Amino acid sequence: MGLQLIDSHFHLWKHDTLLVPGSLSLPPLNRDINWEDYAAATDGVDIAASVMVQVDHAPVDGEPEVEWIETVAAEHPTLKAVVAWAPLETEARKEHLDRLVRHAIVRGIRRNTQHEPDPGFCAQPEFIAGAAVLADYGLPCDLCVLAEQLEAVVALARACPQTTFVLNHIGKPDIRNHVTEPWRTHMAALADLGNVYCKLSPVARGENSPWSKEAIAGYVETVIGLFGSDRILWASNWPVSLLATEYRAWVDLAMDLTSGLGSEGQKAVFHDNAAGIYRIG
């Protein structure tokens, strides 16, 4: 249909610097991932722009990663934006954010919390304070959590009505075991909040994560029904998505699953919403 896509979520990394490799220790992810790998994966897909989302590095500091991605973007202008890491739960948050916003490519912040042992981490007062500050910087807050942590995300989003939140990977439900509750209940609560958006991207919760149409259609239908075309962003989650699907296969499947939205609805999901949130001209 001639639609150019904005990939609102992909990753590059230097593997030996990762803080918590987790699934990234599995083949084919246990190596450096460079732009050339991404270009090969997206060959034949009409990508207008891409948003690189942080990965957790040691030592923990978001700026060196941003500086590296700036050098990549200088050579590959399809790379338009970075969602950078910042220590939202600490008193160092403003100093860190002040450094990050000096880089024009930074268009959002993500403090990955999926590995935190406390499922209520996002609802802790310190984290709420940090997320609230992002509104002052005009930066959205990406959230990577497991479905078991979504109750805290609801509390966070309610506590920070001026901050735009972008929930990653449809809230990471347990698709392998066909679990829908309380995932659906928490997603409905988030959809009731106008400051929450949702990324429609592959959920990889370990090796061989199921991502067939039969496995995910019900989950995608739920997300579309709750958030509508105006608050969903298509994303690849590449290369983590390789644990579940190939890039082009996900593009085709996502187009199929969203076909009921019509051309204007799909344009919003696959392009316009990401362009607005991440300020991609």
The per-residue pLDDT for 252 is 97
- Residue given tokens 């984290």 in the structure block: 127
Give the model's confidence band at 20: pLDDT under 50 very low, under 70 low, under 90 confident, else very high: confident
Q: Give the DSSP H/E element, type plus range, for residue 47.
A: strand 47-53
Would you say 89 and 130 are in contact if contact means Cβ atoms under 8 Å apart? yes
Full DSSP string of 161-230: TTS-EEESGGG---TTTT--TTHHHHHHHHHTSTTEEEEE-----STT---SHHHHHHHHHHHHHHH-GG
Cα-based distances in Å from 211 to 32, 68, 114, 185, 236: 24, 32, 20, 22, 12
Query: Over the stretch 244-278, which tens digit does the pLDDT of each residue have?
Result: 999 999 999 999 999 999 999 999 999 999 999 99
Half-sphere exposure of 279 (CA within 13 A, CB side): 11
Angle between helix 183-191 and 213-227 (nearest 10): 30
Pairing of strands 106-110, 141-143: parallel
The per-residue pLDDT for 277 is 98
Count of CB atoms within 10 A of residue 275's CB?
18
C-alpha 33, offset from chain centre: 17
Q: Which spans in 33-174 are helix H?
A: 35-41, 62-75, 93-100, 125-137, 150-159
Would you say 157 and 165 are in contact if contact means Cβ atoms under 8 Å apart? yes
CA 110 to CA 88: how far, in whole Å?
Answer: 9
137-140 contacts at long range (C-beta below 8 A, 24 or more positions apart): 137/97, 137/101, 139/97, 139/101, 139/106, 139/107, 139/108, 139/109, 140/107, 140/108, 140/109, 140/164, 140/165, 140/166, 140/197, 140/277, 140/278
Query: Over the stretch 29-65, which tens digit does the pLDDT of each residue have?
Result: 999 999 999 999 999 999 999 999 999 998 899 999 9
Mean pLDDT over residues 16-25, rounded?
Answer: 89
Query: Over the stretch 182-240, which tens digit does the pLDDT of each residue have?
Result: 999 999 999 999 999 999 999 988 777 889 999 999 999 999 999 999 999 999 999 99
**Domain extent listing, the chain:** 5-277
Pairing of strands 79-84, 47-53: parallel
Share above pLDDT 70 across residues of the chain, in percent, rounded to a whole number: 100
Architecture of domain 5-277: Alpha-Beta Barrel (3.20)
Cα-based distances in Å from 53 to 2, 17, 184, 185, 237: 26, 16, 25, 27, 9
